[in-house]
Amino acid sequence: MASENRGLTERKKQILKAIVDAHIEGGGPVGSKYILQNQQLSCSSATIRNEMAELEEMGYLEQPHASAGRVPSELGYRFYVDSLIERYAMTTHEIAQINDLLKAKMGELDQILLAASNLASNLTNYTGIAIKPPVSAISINKFEIIYLESDHYILIAVTSTGSVKSKHVHTATPISQALAAKLANVLNQHLKGLSANEITLPIIMEMEAQMGYESSLVNAAIKVVYDLLNELDEGEMRVSGIDHLLQYPEYSDVGQLQELLGTLEKKEDILNLVSRSESQDISVLIGSESEVKVMNNSALVFKPIVKDGKTLGAIGILGPRRMDYAKVLATLEGLSGNITNLIGSNKSNGGESNGGN
The pLDDT tens digits along the chain (357 residues) read 444 555 799 999 999 999 999 999 998 899 988 888 887 777 888 999 999 999 999 999 998 877 678 999 999 999 999 999 999 999 999 999 998 887 776 667 778 889 999 999 999 999 999 988 766 567 788 999 999 988 889 999 988 767 788 888 888 888 899 999 999 999 999 998 887 778 899 999 999 999 988 888 998 899 999 888 877 666 788 999 999 999 999 898 888 888 899 888 888 888 888 877 778 899 999 999 988 888 888 999 999 988 777 778 899 999 999 999 999 999 999 999 888 877 766 554 444 433 444
240 plus 105 within the same structural domain: yes
Region of 246 (left: φ > 0; alpha: ψ -120 to 50; beta: rest) is: alpha
75 plus 108 within the same structural domain: no
156 plus 289 within the same structural domain: no
113 plus 31 within the same structural domain: no
Contact predicate 55/35, CB 8 Å? no
Contact predicate 298/320, CB 8 Å? yes
65 plus 121 within the same structural domain: no
241 plus 344 within the same structural domain: yes
Q: How far apart are CA 267 and CA 323, in angstroms?
A: 22
What domain range includes position 167? Answer: 140-233
| Amino acid found at 183 | L
Residue 55 sits in a domain whose CATH number is: 1.10.10.10
- Number of alpha carbons in the 13 Å side-chain half-sphere of residue 132: 20
pTM of the model: 0.74
Contact predicate 46/71, CB 8 Å? no
130 plus 239 within the same structural domain: yes
Q: Residue 303: inside a domain, yes or no?
A: yes
